[in-house]
Structure 1
């Protein structure tokens, strides 16, 4: 009986050693059952910045002139998950004029195994642009997406995305177009609403860096019978904020 036990022990030991070696081998993305590894890389960003501290004080002073100190502190936007979405709101009322700035950060997570977070963010961003009437024509550069204007320069138009439309009511006009030089891809939507109460201009600038979508909204309204809030100045202010936020993501 003692002699027969030795070969059995040796055979079991050999099987165990073979199993250990197989577990350490590089299978090239295929597990022993033959299934292909479909793990998709997670998005570049795993967190978001503190939104009320993301805009420089001197910029806030320019966009919201002569506001009280508590206005410049901003009010955080209520969100259910600050790891996924954060925002801040600044609002200043000065007699007949009101200026308001809102920033919103959204970190996109894909729930499809074969779709990366970055790719899902690209899809979501293109949907947003389409809702604003903009077709994204520029390719994702894949670089850091910082605040450098690059060759595009501030306020450059992305080509086919430019348009100007007037709804049937005649009370609102809009100018929506793709932008170069902010994040990986960006667009701006400038809308002027006029009625008996006055004029209001809302400039929305949205850009994407990897798996984070950032939206800046700068609004100026007045009840005075003066010319409507200037478009070029409002757009320049929104672009300044967006560039700072893009730089902050990569800082």
Structure 2
């Protein structure tokens, strides 16, 4: 009688355990309980290559800043950090120089992209965001690199993808040009904006030179990400 009762109690205990976890044929609880995905594991897309961002005001070297902002006061070259709400996701810096011969402004912006879709990696989401940004700039998809200085156009040799956009925005008298260069490296999108204006109508701005200076900055930032 006692043996019969013991067997019954053991059976009830096993049933209670199996009510909370799957049981194998021999009555043991299965360690691979169903999690809603095949094999009992929950997959997710890979995180991005970069988990942080550089200090933006120190990302451009002094010689380059002096080329882009000639004759500026010493404190100008220190830069002014941009206000952001999450420095782990976005940082930036800008430099402004004003003189009788004209003004120059350089701004750099770093954005670390995070995907909230478990089926899309951070890098892939950044690629999608970058394609959208290029399209907004008026750049058709899969535009081949161009040799001329017209903009917008794609660029080779800076990050995994890059484009430059050169616009003349000034009105008479004088001239104002704004060059924007954006590139992507893995899950980070970087934007460089170089704006130059001059009140002198007899000395037009050299678009080719301004674009080259902007590309120099972008190349340094791309190398800094991997440094």
Q: TM-score range by the shorter chain?
A: 0.7 to 0.9
RMSD: 2.8
Aligned to 2:185: 209
Aligned to 2:3: 3
Inter-partner Cα distance in structure 1 for 2:28 and 2:63 = 67
Which of 107, 111, 117 does residue 102 from structure 1 map onto? 107
> Paired residues, what number?
216
Kindly state the Cα deviation for residue 4 of structure 1 after the two structures are TM-superposed. 3.7
Check conservation: 1:121, 1:210, Cα contact below 8 A: yes
Report the TM-score, using the length of structure 2 for normalisation: 0.84
Check conservation: 1:86, 1:105, Cα contact below 8 A: yes
Which of 119, 141, 145 does residue 114 from structure 1 map onto? 119
Which of 3, 24, 46 does residue 51 from structure 2 map onto? 46
Q: How does 1:210-225 map to 2 (within 5 A)?
A: 210-225=186-201
SS at match of 2:28: helix
Q: How does 1:128-139 map to 2 (within 5 A)?
A: 128-137=133-142
Kindly state the Cα deviation for residue 194 of structure 1 after the two structures are TM-superposed. 3.6
Which of 229, 238, 248 does residue 205 from structure 2 map onto? 229
Q: Deviations over 1:106-127 (max 9, x none)?
A: 1111222222211111111111
Are 2:45 and 1:58 equivalent residues in the alignment? no
Cα gap change, 1:6 to 1:162, in 2 (>3 Å): farther
Aligned to 1:158: 145
Q: Deviations over 1:127-165 (max 9, x none)?
A: 111111112427xxxxxxxxxxxxxxxxxx715x9895x
Structure 2 stretches lacking a partner, 5+ long:
none
SS at match of 1:18: coil
| Bigger-Rg structure (1/2) | 2
Check conservation: 1:100, 1:218, Cα contact below 8 A: yes
Inter-partner Cα distance in structure 1 for 2:191 and 2:31 = 52
Inter-partner Cα distance in structure 1 for 2:72 and 2:203 = 23
Aligned to 1:195: 171
Report the TM-score, using the length of structure 1 for normalisation: 0.76
Kindly state the Cα deviation for residue 192 of structure 1 after the two structures are TM-superposed. 1.4
SS at match of 1:91: strand
Structure 1 stretches lacking a partner, 5+ long:
139-156, 165-174
Check conservation: 1:103, 1:215, Cα contact below 8 A: yes
Kindly state the Cα deviation for residue 96 of structure 1 after the two structures are TM-superposed. 2.7
Aligned to 1:245: 221
SS at match of 1:227: coil
Check conservation: 1:162, 1:177, Cα contact below 8 A: no
Inter-partner Cα distance in structure 1 for 2:220 and 2:161 = 15
Are 2:38 and 1:30 equivalent residues in the alignment? yes
